[in-house]
Amino acid sequence: MNRKDLVVLAADKNIEYALKGLFTRPQALDIRPIEADIFIHPQHDPG
């Protein structure tokens, strides 16, 4: 079983790309590398 550190339901692709950008810079955030699955809400619902 391949387990991820984090699963995110994002409102849209803008949020998806922002999170991917953050997750590629763990040294800048002073955190360990994160493996995440990001899913886009089908109706772009921010709530």
Per-residue pLDDT tens digits for 1-47? 678 899 999 989 999 999 999 999 999 999 999 999 999 988 876 55
**pLDDT value at position 17?**
96
Predicted confidence at residue 15, as pLDDT, reads 93
Q: What is the pLDDT of residue 45?
A: 64
State the DSSP string of 7-31.
Answer: EEEESSHHHHHHHHHHHT-HHHHTS
